[in-house]
Amino acid sequence: MVRKLAFLLYLMPLFIFAQLQSPSEFLGYEIGTEFSRHADVVSYFEHVAANSVMVKYFDYGKTNERRRLTYAVISSEENLANLEQIRTDNLKNIGILSGSANPDKTIVWLSYNVHGNEASSSEAAMNTVYKLITEHSDWLKSVVVIMDPGVNPDGRDRYVNWYNQVKASPYNSSRDAIEHNEPWPGGRPNHYLFDLNRDWMWASQVETQQRLKIYNQWMPQIHVDFHEQFINNPYYFAPGAEPYHEIITDWQREFQNKIGKNNAKYFDKNGWLFFTRESFDLLYPSYGDTYPLYMGAIGMTYEQAGHGMAGLGIINDEDIELTLVDRVAHHTTTGLSTIEVASQQAASLNSEFKKFFQNDNLKYKSFVLKGNPDNLKALTKMLDRHEIKYGYATGGSVSGFNYSENKKGAMDAKGALVVSTNQPKGKMVQVLFEPNAALSTPITYDITAWSLPYAFGLETVASTTFVPAMGANPNNTVSNTSSPIAAGYIAKWNSLQDAEFLSALLQANIKVRFSENELGFGGNTFGPGSLIITRSDNKNNVDFDKTLIEIANEMGRQLYASPTSFADNLTDFGSQYVHLIKNKKIAMLQGEGTSSLSYGALWHFFETQLKYPITSINTGDIGNIQWSDYDVLILPDGYYKSILSDDAFKSLEQWINKGGRVIAIGNAVATFEGKEGFDLKKNGDEKAEKEKDTLGNMIPYVQRELESTKDFITGSIYKVMLDNTHPLAFGYGDTYYSLKLGSDSYKFLNDGYNVGYIKEPESVSGFSGEKAKAALKNSIVFAEAKKGKGSVVYMVDDVSFRSFWQNGKLFLANAVFFIN
């Protein structure tokens, strides 16, 4: 017993010292000398939370690959005991919760590693939490710090696991070494290859969806998104570059300066280079800096030299070795410096934060939207994720800016969706719905248009007077009943949800037809594309009615049961214009040469939205594909000229001639340009060459960047004329608004169908360079070239881009199910 006691006493001091360990002690290597896997980072934060009264650690969800999404809340012991009060006081201060409060604590949110291969930041997160609680706990009296050590764990581990497998020991700093050349698709995106730093607003990804719930509970006053840039650019911190969105307040601009100068103080002291204000503009609302800015915070991006090529150490162009140790030190420094400023400015942060949420002076008071109920529902679902409020109009006519007429106009508003700016998040409402964002300079590296009425294809009026609305949702639930004597059922075709319904029916082995003509049955009319599910097609399926009704009710699809297949007008169920829909076998290319973003968005579309199986095939395996195994081949945006050898192209062509169908998206369209039989030519090549000769040398050097924007379209919205008698445009009206992501312009097809085209190029929203815009005159957006028994569908604009252009997604479903 005595001996036992002595033994325990002997161990006691060790226990005390062993309690809180630094990252290096805990992980067994100096931070920056190895890459830590996500699970290691999580373990360290668990260790810190278990051994510090200043840290609490929570899970907020899981990734697609089942990795944990987590956040730590770090503050003084007293504040942590009072956390719920601090949180709700903050929301009361800005009117999100009712009641009054005078908060004196400020909330700083630090997000690490949103781009998985910008991997120094999760290492810095571990360092930062340790230094914060061991060296700077005095700051925590007035600050609550929320740290998300890994926003994109699937991407991080894709990078780290790859790096750890290929790296030399000791590491090799030559740029040629394999450890500096990541294979496709790289660790930047998440599982579905989405860039999570473009997804804050659209929230199409599970990581974003789960994070926003916590973000909305906290509404931080400062948000920092840690990134890495190319190895030669030293370090970037706020203030950001023009263009700033005009909704950003003077105070938000000034405060960025304040933080920037504090960061600069430490960088100067250590002799570290940095730059500010030259790049990383603040416009597109879906970034980790702009989204928080439009939600009232000081949103900032910090960019360290590094990135997927940097590894543990690399020689850059200036012959300097950039090491992970240095990268971690820099990100740790700026994180701490930001918290320091917050701790000194808690009072002003709270008072200015409150002001941001008062929205009396916004130009538009209400946005009134109506149209396809499924698109409206998709929109409200997105607004719900941001806890933005809306209602339904009680009154009659509203007037204001009419989006489809692109000028002042009126609309009958009864029952329409109303989103108003007289709510705490009114500034974000303005940013999302206003027809056009003002640009101080066109030099931006992202899209300049996202106006939601166009993206969701809704008839909209923006009103400068407030439009009264009630909260009740007019959506009625659909309840079909089985009609065993019906000759068949008809369902309308107007939205992605209708396509999802078709997908479910096909997979339940129910046979479905679609009509090329408008249908009339029992006094009802159904537009082209409407689905017909006949008893005669499904006579061998004893559960036919039951299965169909169950799926339709579950998916909220209204069915019309017709007692007869004899139509009111021409088209009966057995008409030559009513076609059986084949359960198509779809292949899609991915891998080297394809755009990982485009492939990923399409993969996500088929897997999680349309819920229809596809076979993804690596471009390296093209030579082994039996094309005849598939009905449809999808080519995501990419550069196929290098991938498709002459032989591969020839066999593809033979397959098309026999009835194969290609859907070429974005730059994949160029694969067929000038190829015999594919009817595709670029617009305006001759003219551009001529202009080059006359203007080429006239541009002052200093204006070169601005001058180059004349050829740019980086994302602006154009009106497209539609031939909606062609199956590719079934379910649409005769016009459509398309997000143009580039200046590619192709001539009208001579032999094929020009389904969607631009006649007079008129951009309704966003920046377009004048030359690029002019070149869009008489160009195709969607077209079908017939070849032998098959065809190629050209989709010049990528409708699945970032998964937010809701109204474009039906084109994809049409292309898959209806063409042929």
Q: What are the structure tokens assigned to 217, written together?
A: 């509970």
Calpha distance 272→320 (Å, rounded): 13
CB of 229 to Zn ion, least distance (A): 7
Which residue from 398, 378, 390 is spatially nearest to 461, judged by alpha carbons? 398
Q: Which is nearer to Zn ion, 47 or 227 (CB)?
A: 227
Q: Which is nearer to Zn ion, 186 or 296 (CB)?
A: 186
Which residue from 191, 195, 181 is spatially nearest to 153, judged by alpha carbons? 191
Q: Which is nearer to Zn ion, 118 or 374 (CB)?
A: 118
Contact (CB, 8 A) for 610 and 813 = yes
Contact (CB, 8 A) for 763 and 718 = yes
Which residues lie below 8 Å from residue 150, measured CB to CB, with a gap of 6+?
38, 41, 42, 67, 69, 70, 112, 113, 122, 125, 156
CB of 567 to Zn ion, least distance (A): 57
Q: Which residues pair with 780 in a beta bridge?
A: 757
Binders of Zn ion in range 220-239 (CB under 5 A): 227
CB of 109 to Zn ion, least distance (A): 17
Calpha distance 295→291 (Å, rounded): 6
Please provide the DSSP assignment of 710-745 as one string.
GG-BSSEEEEEEE-TTSGGGTT--SEEEEEE-S---
Give the per-residue contact string, 705-724, with Zn ion (x = CB under 5 A; - = no). Answer: --------------------
Q: Which is nearer to Zn ion, 158 or 365 (CB)?
A: 158
CB of 303 to Zn ion, least distance (A): 7
Tokens 């200046």 sit on residue: 743
Give the per-residue contact string, 452-491, with Zn ion (x = CB under 5 A; - = no). Answer: ----------------------------------------
Calpha distance 515→538 (Å, rounded): 17
Which residue from 277, 265, 287 is spatially nearest to 241, judged by alpha carbons? 277
CB of 418 to Zn ion, least distance (A): 37
CB of 635 to Zn ion, least distance (A): 28
CB of 193 to Zn ion, least distance (A): 15
Q: What is the CA radius of gyration of the chain?
A: 29
Q: Which is nearer to Zn ion, 115 or 191 (CB)?
A: 115
The DSSP bridge pattern shows strands 407-412 and 397-402 to be antiparallel
Q: Which is nearer to Zn ion, 116 or 790 (CB)?
A: 116
Binders of Zn ion in range 171-230 (CB under 5 A): 227
Calpha distance 685→673 (Å, rounded): 13
Q: What are the structure tokens assigned to 578, written together?
A: 């009513």
Q: Which is nearer to Zn ion, 208 or 430 (CB)?
A: 208
CB of 125 to Zn ion, least distance (A): 15
Angle at 141 between CA 248 and CA 265, to 5 degrees: 55
Q: Which is nearer to Zn ion, 240 or 756 (CB)?
A: 240
Name the phi and psi angles at 734, rounded to 5: -95, 0
CB of 115 to Zn ion, least distance (A): 4
CB of 308 to Zn ion, least distance (A): 10
Binders of Zn ion in range 81-140 (CB under 5 A): 115, 118
Please provide the DSSP assignment of 88-123 as one string.
HHHHHHTTSSSS------EEEEEE--SSTT-THHHH
Which residues lie below 8 Å from residue 703, measured CB to CB, with a gap of 6+?
none
Contact (CB, 8 A) for 354 and 93 = yes
Which residues lie below 8 Å from residue 397, measured CB to CB, with a gap of 6+?
410, 411, 412, 413
Q: Which is nearer to Zn ion, 121 or 480 (CB)?
A: 121
Calpha distance 36→703 (Å, rounded): 45
Q: Which is nearer to Zn ion, 191 or 227 (CB)?
A: 227
- The closest residue (CB) to Zn ion is 227
Calpha distance 268→31 (Å, rounded): 23
CB of 338 to Zn ion, least distance (A): 17
Q: Which is nearer to Zn ion, 227 or 427 (CB)?
A: 227
CB of 190 to Zn ion, least distance (A): 13
Report if residue 307 touches Zn ion, rule: CB under 5 A. Answer: no
Q: Which is nearer to Zn ion, 148 or 653 (CB)?
A: 148
CB of 572 to Zn ion, least distance (A): 58
Calpha distance 594→762 (Å, rounded): 30
Helices 83-93 & 346-356, crossing angle to 10 degrees?
A: 50
Q: Which is nearer to Zn ion, 302 or 811 (CB)?
A: 302
Q: How far is it between the farthest Cα atoms of the chain?
A: 102
What 3-state DSSP class applies to 514? Answer: strand
Which residue from 318, 307, 312, 326 is spatially nearest to 173, judged by alpha carbons? 312
Q: Which is nearer to Zn ion, 34 or 118 (CB)?
A: 118
Helices 809-817 & 496-507, crossing angle to 10 degrees?
A: 40
Site for Zn ion (CB under 5 A): how many residues?
A: 3
Q: Which residues pair with 588 in a beta bridge?
A: 616, 634
Calpha distance 718→761 (Å, rounded): 7
CB of 353 to Zn ion, least distance (A): 26
Q: Which is nearer to Zn ion, 187 or 761 (CB)?
A: 187
CB of 447 to Zn ion, least distance (A): 17
CB of 227 to Zn ion, least distance (A): 3
Q: Which is nearer to Zn ion, 118 or 340 (CB)?
A: 118
**Footprint of Zn ion on this chain (CB under 5 A)?**
115, 118, 227
